Amino acid sequence: MKKIKSGVIITAVIIVLILVLAGLLVRTYIEQNRPLPEASGGSGGQRNATTVRVTPVVRDTIENSVVINGDVLAIKQVSIYPTVAGKITEILFQVGDWINQGAVVAMVDPSRPGQVYSESPVLSTISGTVLSTPVNKGDTVSTQTPVIVVGDLSALMIETFVPERFSNAARRGLGAQVFLEALPDETFHAVVEEVSPVLDPASRTLRIRLRFPGRTDPRIRAGMFATVSLVTNTRRDIPVIPRGSLINSFGSWFVFTIDEQNIATRREISLGIENEDLIEVAKGLEVGDMVVSAGQNFLSNGDLVRIVE
């Protein structure tokens, strides 16, 4: 009997709790759906308004870009080879030295055991700065061994590789922004000058080379690591809104617009290209429409809003 009585009491308590909870839910639902009284200038009640920020639909320019890494190289860079095979007896220049075209950069002794030949000079085919000396005195070289690498550092380029999905956008004359690790607070402009006709089958990338227009900044050096922001698409004079204005619902995009009475209207829109801050409105809005850019997640269609700066 005691067990039955305890069970009845527990059941009764549960029923009371359920009734209380149901009452609270009904009361909350009624409060949320109660018609708002009309605003008045007198002592009567005023409608509750959601605080929002708004931004007009304006015309602007949007650029799409892809960020890739590359290396700064000398545009004119040549490896100097000996005309005969033999042993290096002398290297006449060091890395960083300037040499003129026709200068002797090294000497090669082509002698073999039992034979004696005169040393053969290695001549530079261009004027420029010595970038590297791949061999040392005493090394044995062939006519296919580079003895010294010379480059013209007055003209530099950037070599980089574009992923396959962006390869169709790469073309000569395309602009880019360049950021260098050695100069972190500055941005440099570059232009695509050379585009490979084929993709690398191993990496599925397209090699491109960019040049710095005008005189190259003397602080930029060959061998520097570069980050390239390559512009792949540009749309000018198009209606745009801030990206943060958008609401996605089941695959569709919406915004809230505000009319002269400060009433919010939910509107479905179609989108175009975008960047980090802006997005193109292809359909659904007109230039000048006031779009909610902050606070839209708390709105419903027809809500009264209070606009703040």
Report pTM: 0.55
Tell me the pLDDT tens digit for each residue of 206-219: 999 999 988 888 88
* Max CA separation in the chain (angstroms): 124
Ranges 44-53, 86-95, 155-164, 275-284: which has the least confidence:
44-53
Instruction: Please give the pLDDT value at position 39.
Output: 40
CATH of domain 50-60+237-307: 2.40.420.20
Nearest alpha-carbon partner for 282 in 269, 268, 298, 299: 269
Q: In which band, very low, low, confident or very high, does the pLDDT at 136 lie, cut at 50, 70 and 90?
A: very high
Q: In which band, very low, low, confident or very high, does the pLDDT at 232 lie, cut at 50, 70 and 90?
A: confident
Q: Which residue has the higher pLDDT, 186 or 309?
A: 186
Give the CATH architecture of domain 82-146. Answer: Beta Barrel (2.40)
The full DSSP string for 30-55 is HHHHSPPPPP-SSSS-----EEEEEE
Tell me the pLDDT tens digit for each residue of 115-124: 888 899 999 9
Ranges 10-19, 67-76, 290-299: which has the least confidence:
10-19
Instruction: Please give the pLDDT value at position 47.
Output: 56
Contact 255, 212 (CB under 8 A): no
**What is the gyration radius of the CA atoms in the chain, in angstroms?**
36
- The number of residues making up the chain comes to 309
pLDDT > 50? residue 24: yes
Give just the sign of the alpha carbon dihedral 259, 262, 266, 271. Answer: positive
Q: Would you put residue 280 in left (φ > 0), alpha (ψ -120 to 50) or beta? A: beta
pLDDT > 90? residue 84: yes
pLDDT > 70? residue 38: no
- What is the C-alpha to C-alpha distance for residues 117 and 245, in angstroms, rounded to an integer? 81
Q: In which band, very low, low, confident or very high, does the pLDDT at 3 lie, cut at 50, 70 and 90?
A: low
Range 187-202 average pLDDT: 93
Indicate the average pLDDT of the chain. 86
What's the topology of domain 64-73+155-235? Elongation Factor Tu (Ef-tu); domain 3 (2.40.30)
pLDDT > 60? residue 4: no
The domain ranges of the chain are 50-60+237-307, 64-73+155-235, 82-146
Nearest alpha-carbon partner for 82 in 152, 151, 140: 140
Instruction: Please give the pLDDT value at position 79.
Output: 93
> For 167, which DSSP code?
G
DSSP H helical segments within the chain, as ranges?
2-33
pLDDT > 80? residue 244: yes
Instruction: Please give the pLDDT value at position 7.
Output: 65
Range 162-181 average pLDDT: 90
Q: Beta strand pairing status for 305-307 and 50-56?
A: parallel
Range 107-132 average pLDDT: 89
Q: In which band, very low, low, confident or very high, does the pLDDT at 29 lie, cut at 50, 70 and 90?
A: low
Range 152-178 average pLDDT: 89
